[in-house]
Amino acid sequence: MTGVLLYCFNTESYRYDKIAAKTIPLLRQNLGLEITVVTNDETRVHLPEQEGVNYMVITNQTGNYINQKSWHNLDRHRAYELSPYEKTILLDIDYFCYSDYLLTLANTDQDFMVHDKVHDVTGHDSYKFARNSMIPMVWATVIIFKKTPRAMAIFDMVKYVKERYSYFCDLYRIDFQNFRNDYAFAIALHQLGGFKGYETIPNRLPTLPAAARVTEVSATHVSWNHQGRHGRIANNDLHIIDKGVQNV
């Protein structure tokens, strides 16, 4: 069975349940798969019962920050353990699914796939991190995996990296000292695969950067403003960094 796994933890600054209220219907509409949401007690009370959506309450790890705001991203390595599915589409809660492209990826024979390239849909090419580390970063926003020994080893290695993140930042000369799953998965894949490489999702991850302000979210498209220009994307998946989307 194939299903979708999401993490949703509210913080002092952001109501991720409000973002989930926008993205979960899109997933149901365009993928038609069962969804499991990993959450905590504080967030669960804000998440409504929905057909085809299951909730798994855990005690999430805290203590990580980004821009001096709480960032509850320390439990992603548990996805293999927590997923009830034989094949899992693991997504960030702010991934807006406007197509069935992920179904195509899930139907491949690969047991682990992740994006290694990103596309800034504003055209400003905001994401250039080649000089920030000795290792190419991957994007943990979308991960597709099967329940195989290799996939389990990758997630176990991410846990190992997380517990020794400062050491690995020094080893790979990573500038971002606060824990990031993007680098943790990149390190795990490098450590386990050496120079053999690994399977990646073939398209670039379409992303709307934090500087863009979302003005509209509908069942078919997203609109935004960025540096005085208006943009719109329809019928294509989109990762939205602007957490202000919770209030649109």
What is the model's pTM? 0.95
Query: So where are the chain's domains?
Result: 2-210
Q: What is the 3-state secondary structure (H, E, C) of 85-106?
A: CCEEEEECCCEECCCCHHHHHH
Q: What is the pLDDT of residue 108?
A: 92
Q: Name which of 213, 235, 238, 245 is nearest 226 in CA terms.
A: 213
CB-CB neighbours of 36 under 10 Å: 18
pLDDT digit string (tens) for 182-232? 999 999 999 998 656 788 999 999 999 999 999 999 999 999 999 989 999
State the burial class of residue 211 (Cβ atoms within 10 Å of its Cβ: 0-12, 13-18, 19+). Answer: middle
| Strand duo 118-120 + 205-208: pairing | parallel
pLDDT digit string (tens) for 143-166? 999 999 999 999 999 999 999 999
Q: What is the CA radius of gyration of the chain?
A: 17
Q: What is the pLDDT of residue 231?
A: 95
Domain 2-210 has CATH 3.90.550: yes
Mean pLDDT score across all residues of the chain: 94
Q: Taking the alpha carbons of 242, 83, 101, 97 in that order, is the dihedral positive or negative?
A: negative
